[in-house]
Chain A
Amino acid sequence: MQVTMTVNGTDITEEIEPRVLLVHFIRDVLRLTGTHWGCDTSNCGTCVVLMDGQPVKSCTVLAMMADGHSITTVEGLATGAVLDPVQQGFMEEHGLQCGFCTPGMMLTARALLDHNPHPDDTEIRQAISGQICRCTGYATIVRSVKWAAEHPVLSNADTDTDSDADADSAHGATADEVRA
């Protein structure tokens, strides 16, 4: 069947089997491999992407269920060369080690900050509690999200170098980047 969705600001139409999981559609069809697959029971959250701004575990969504929706993956977090504050925060505060849980963690953090710009530690921990990290022990992830909260806006003048970027998607990637 045919599925159409917006991924990182770009419209995508593909022919797929109905049973294909969104995580495999993103990874294997779109070749956006920043989204990971860490379990088979919907516990680990390494596959989290944003669907219409809400974090979803893409291993637990059929690609066809994303038909007509807007998806943001880790590749769509930065705007051109300018990182989202969450990405910068994870680097500043050592919120990642092996990097496998990082994309999902950052997208959940982005959704949290969009709804609650100044979360406290407990709110951050609750927000990421659907996601497992085996390396960091979480404390530096909490610090990373706080760093992002304290540095909410990167200069607008620097952010958009590509006029094709979807104006509606604050964290949209350029068309070239979607299939990069």
Chain B
Amino acid sequence: MTLLEDRPTNPAAGDDNRPIGYGRIQRKEDPRFVRGKGHYVDDIVLPGMLHGAILRAPVAHARLVSIDTSEALAHPGVHAVITGTDLQALGLAWAPTLSMDVQAVLVTDKVRFQGQEVAFVVADDRYAARDALELIRVDYDLLPPVIDARTALDPGAPVIRDDLEGRTDNHIFDWEAGDATETDAVFAAADVVVSQEIIYPRVHPAPMETCGAVADFDPIDGRLTLYETTQAPHAHRTLFAMVAGIPEHKIRVVSPDIGGGFGNKVGIYPGYILAVVGSIVTGKPVKWVEDRSENLMSTSFARDYIMQGSIAATKDGTILGLRTNVLADHGAFNATAQPTKYPAGFFHIFTGSYDLKAAHCTVTGVYTNKAPGGVAYACSFRVTEAVYLVERMVDILAAKLGMDPAELRLKNFIKPEQFPYANKTGWEYDSGNYEPTMRLSMQMAGYDELRQEQKEKRERGELMGIGISFFTETVGAGPRKHMDILGLGMNDGAELRVHPTGKAVVRISVQSQGQGHETTFAQIVAEELGIPPEDIDVVHGDTDQTPFGLGTYGSRSTPVSGGAVALVARKVREKARFIAAAMLETRPEDLEWEKGRWFVKGDPSIGKTVAEIAMGAHGTVALPEGIDGNLDAEVTYDPPNLTFPFGAYICVVDIDPGTGHVKVRRFIAVDDCGTRINPMIIEGQVHGGLTDGVGMALMEIIEFDTEGNCLGGSFMDYLIPTAMEVPDWETGFTVTPSPHHPIGAKGIGESATVGSPPAIVNAVVDALAPFGITHMDMPCTPARVWEAMQGRPRPPI
């Protein structure tokens, strides 16, 4: 099925044609947000609540000599000043990361990145807390920092992690996928081989709301309530139990409304732990909310992959193989968030949408004197890097062969009959029909006309570029057999209760940060049970109230939790069948389902609606053997595979030859995420991700100087697109359902962030072809484009 997006101009609420299940319905979350009645962490005020602030290291690498907190403690309104020594006494100076490493909560021995946490002040209000930070005296002994990842493994490089037993270098891990020998053979036999170093620079997810927490430890019953900006409240609860030694049943993690996450709010930051310690120490609730600079300098960065890519092909453009060696800069602590067995995430999806004969990758992770992170910013566990690599390499190959990049892609796509498709690095793609999606985007763009326009403009000396990206995502981690985070299988639970009057509550384990779960999960139940979405409440984010699960990131909500919700609704539907049979004094196998109602086969006039069945289930109906009262169910869903949504993106840029300024004139995005629950929300997800792409491709970067000073630590320097830098997006879609998913739906949230940067960079490089440029690294800022045009390209480090 191939359709152009058909968005109703004004689908009024209350329209009789509004679907009971899937379709464009307004969001249930919106009424509170448009009234300023959202409930974010910093909106929370508890009786007696104090405020915490963190003193941060001014340098990247230094031995801690001494800390004097006496003046700060004497400052009016200050209740406590906590240092690494205090934490050491509690066994909390270091905390485990999501990558089996440890991270310093407060510095005890030495500073390892600029912005690292050194001390924590608890005071009456945020102003007094900040005042007191200025009064803490710290002596540092400077050490030489490791900034360029390329030098991290040099003999004699300063050892950053001398805290780790026996550690004598900055090496974290080596990892590989695919078959090196087979790949070498394919490359040896190829007509054409092109190689390119491709850097995906360090960027930051920068959600509009920074990270924060309110910790409330009750010393009488030993119970901790922790309000947090977390995308994974249940995993946080378990980790807090492991870190802080508080029994897990005494911990309640609440993730209220979250002002965007984008992967920034998956891990546990020192600030959360410090808020808890502050509350334990003072006996009062403690709020910690970081400011923007703290967010950019110390919380999870994204990307920072230096990739050596090579692609092999025949003369006529049959791609044979792909090879890459990656140097991954993980900062000072390996806190990368990914499934345990995948230290480079799902980077090995870098074979992309193409049917290759062989592929091989190696990834080496190193420590540097920078903030930890890596996996964040809608990357789907390093798929951004994988897709960027393959889509750039394919364009570089097209340029080498003198082939149109669209034609080269069409020639090499995995064919629809090849799905499920086992690629050369261990993935099994669930479904795909790439060519119609590619053709649709070319048709929407007017591809041939664009090429003609470009030809004419080139003759006039104007710089216009057309960039293509055709990507395959891999989202929905994941099957517990392969995927866990710190030993927690990546499954999700769902509980559904239909109340006596037919209204329902569904409790889910994932946590929206704006993606519209309160609406779309109600739509899934509505579709399965025929209860209108407005009669279904979606409860999430409170570990006391919701079933266990791994949270929202990696576009995993629809694949995993969405599957759980569909299955729990079906379980309720099946239970309703038995109760309806009892009510109708017939056999369950004689009943047939239509949306919202079980009826007697052959006599549709005799039946019971879900509401009638719910009342019966809670009432006095004599229930059949094995069926208990009430209309409810719970499930935990272990997905059999990930989902592999895909998309065809075309970007048109104009470059000012005098200044190097790149303007994205048009962007056409055709996505296929299988069954579409709410097209309005999908469109919004795509728009947001495309804007990320413009940011990364053209503006955003976290750089460091040679001393390790962070140069992108505020919105003055870390530039994010405004409404002036992005075009009016043109979106379309095709539908190729996931065969293994209960409703055929795939994830979509990160597709646009994954798919758009290569389209934009391909467009920029295409525009700069008259200068002989075949590659340029992000971000393509005016200065960097201009330098490239002068023949002086600058690496982004």
Contact = CB atoms under 8 A, between A and B. Distances in A.
A40 B293 contact: yes
A98 B26 contact: no
A75 B35 contact: yes
Interface string B1-44: 00000000011110000000000001101111111111010110
A74 interface: yes
Contact of B724 (A91, A99, A129): A129
B684 A83 contact: no
A162 interface: no
A102 interface: yes
A132 B722 contact: yes
Nearest to A34: B36
Highest count of chain B CB atoms <10 Å: which of A20, A27, A39: A39
B36 A98 contact: no
Interface string A41-60: 10110100000000000000
A41 B723 contact: no
A73 B36 CA distance: 9
Contacts of B685: 97
A118 to B, nearest CB: 17
B209 interface: yes
Contact of A138 (B262, B513, B680, B691): B691
A38 interface: yes
Q: Name B's interface SS.
A: loop
A141 B513 CA distance: 18
B85 interface: no
Contacts of A133: 208, 723
Interface size classification for chain A: 35 or more
Given A34-B36, A94-B683, A99-B257, 19 more contacts: A36-B40, A36-B208, A38-B208, A77-B34, A94-B26, A98-B207, A98-B261, A98-B514, A99-B33, A100-B259, A100-B514, A102-B33, A121-B728, A132-B715, A133-B208, A137-B684, A138-B691, A139-B687, A139-B729
Given A39-B715, A102-B33, A139-B687, A134 B42 contact: no
A9 interface: no
B136 interface: no
A137 B36 contact: no
B688 A135 contact: yes
Nearest first, the 8 A-B pairs at minimum CB distance are A34-B36, A98-B514, A137-B687, A100-B259, A99-B33, A74-B36, A97-B514, A43-B715
Interface of B: 10-13, 26-27, 29-38, 40, 42-43, 45, 125-127, 206-210, 257-262, 291-293, 513-516, 680-681, 683-692, 714-716, 720, 722-724, 726, 728-729
Contacts of B26: 91-92, 94
Nearest to A133: B208
A140 B686 CA distance: 11
Contacts of A91: 26-27, 30-31, 34
A10 interface: no
Given A38-B208, A101-B208, A27 B688 contact: no
A110 to B, nearest CB: 12
Interface of A: 17, 19-20, 24, 27-28, 31-41, 43-44, 46, 73-75, 77-78, 83, 87, 90-92, 94, 96-103, 106, 121, 124-126, 128-142, 147
A77 B31 CA distance: 13
23 contacts: A17-B127, A20-B127, A33-B36, A33-B40, A43-B715, A87-B35, A90-B30, A98-B208, A98-B257, A98-B261, A99-B30, A100-B38, A100-B514, A102-B33, A128-B722, A134-B692, A135-B260, A135-B684, A137-B729, A138-B687, A138-B723, A138-B726, A139-B726
A100 to B, nearest CB: 3
Contacts of B258: 98
Contacts of A137: 684, 686-691, 726, 729
Given A17-B127, A87-B34, A97 B688 contact: yes
B714 A41 contact: yes
A102 B33 CA distance: 7
Contacts of A132: 208, 715, 720, 722
A126 B722 CA distance: 9
B533 to A, nearest CB: 15
A129 B725 CA distance: 9
B207 A90 contact: no
Contacts, number: 183
Contacts of B40: 33, 36, 100
B714 A40 contact: yes
Contact of A98 (B209, B680, B715, B728): B209
Contacts of A147: 10
B518 to A, nearest CB: 11
Contacts of A106: 34
Nearest to A75: B36
B634 to A, nearest CB: 28
A44 B684 contact: no
A34 B42 CA distance: 11
Highest count of chain B CB atoms <10 Å: which of A40, A78, A128, A140: A40
A98 B723 contact: no
A9 to B, nearest CB: 15
A130 B722 CA distance: 7
Nearest to B296: A39
Nearest to B260: A98
A82 to B, nearest CB: 12
Contacts of B125: 28
A96 B300 CA distance: 25
A40 B126 CA distance: 14
B18 to A, nearest CB: 13
Contacts of B13: 92
B260 A96 contact: no
A120 to B, nearest CB: 12
Given A24-B126, A35-B36, A134-B260, A41 B716 contact: yes
Contacts of B31: 91
Nearest to B206: A134
Contacts of B206: 134
Nearest to B291: A40
Contacts of A73: 36
Contacts of B515: 97
Nearest to A138: B723
A130 to B, nearest CB: 8
Contact of A40 (B34, B292, B689): B292
Nearest to A107: B36
